[in-house]
Amino acid sequence: MLRLSLAGNNLNRTLINLVAQFPSRLPLLMRILVVEDEPRLLRNLAKALREEGYAVDTAEAGDDGLFKAGSCDYDAIVLDVMLPRLDGWEVLDRLRKKKRTPVLMLTARDAPKDRVRGLDTGADDYLIKPFDLDELLARLRALIRRSAGQVHPRLELGDVIIDTRARSVARDGQPVILSAREYAILEYLGLHRGKVVTRTELYEHLFDESDDTLSNLVDVHVFSIRKKLGRELIGTRRGQGYCIE
């Protein structure tokens, strides 16, 4: 990890310049866990999700998936049923005793009784293999919105409008261009409007387990968002984090 010892405006300018030097790093929107034992499907699904801008962690066995699901606050989990060591039903049942993370069951078992069992066990949605990738992405977006209490894809924050489906932002009816990382931070704060979100929480939802990043990057992006959308949009709770009222 790169560590800096600069202070004040010099630090902000240095970080902004450093961010500009890494255009190939894909900015991530939300953090997803995929638990699937078929290597090719797992690899392709993780790749597709990352190309959509998600941070993705993976597991090939039920017990590994349960451990990761319990260790991190994911925005959603894609969970297969037929898994080694611990099947998807058991993973879901044990997870629901601790967490309410949105879960999309992804399986070849298409009998009505299997769908009913999954939903009754605590799954939030159920998708049958083979599946359409666009449908899976739409279902994940809907799960994430619902878990944050936001059913509609448009977030209205005063004169700022966030369209989570199009991943676009407008202010006073005029489009505002944000970097993907800036958009990710704004969307997360908007979905958790009224709640103080710590820097640690933002890092956990924007970076996956294999990522390594600059420790002050969130502050730099918040500074940039305020320049584009107004300083009053995102409040700072000193020693706590950020909040959109």
Burial group, residue 105, by CB count within 10 angstroms (0-12, 13-18, 19+): buried
CA distance 237 to 196: 7
Of 29, 50, 74, the residue nearest 166 (C-alpha)? 29
For 21, the token pair is 């030097």
CA distance 92 to 80: 10
Tens-digit pLDDT string for the chain (245 aa): 333 333 444 544 444 443 444 333 333 468 899 999 999 999 999 999 988 878 899 999 999 999 999 998 898 999 999 999 999 999 999 999 999 899 999 888 778 888 888 888 889 999 998 899 999 999 998 888 887 766 677 888 999 999 887 888 999 999 999 987 888 889 889 988 899 998 888 887 776 666 655 567 788 889 999 999 999 999 998 888 999 98
Of 152, 221, 233, the residue nearest 184 (C-alpha)? 221
Extended beta strands in the chain, E state: 31-35, 55-59, 76-79, 103-107, 125-128, 154-157, 160-163, 168-171, 174-176, 235-237, 241-243
- pTM of the prediction? 0.64
Q: Which domains does the chain have, with CATH numbers?
A: 31-147 (3.40.50.2300), 151-243 (1.10.10.10)
Q: Report the relative pairing of strands 76-79 and 55-59 from DSSP bridges.
A: unpaired
* Residue 243 Cα to chain centre, angstroms: 18
Residues ≥6 apart with Cβ < 8 Å to 85: 61, 62, 63
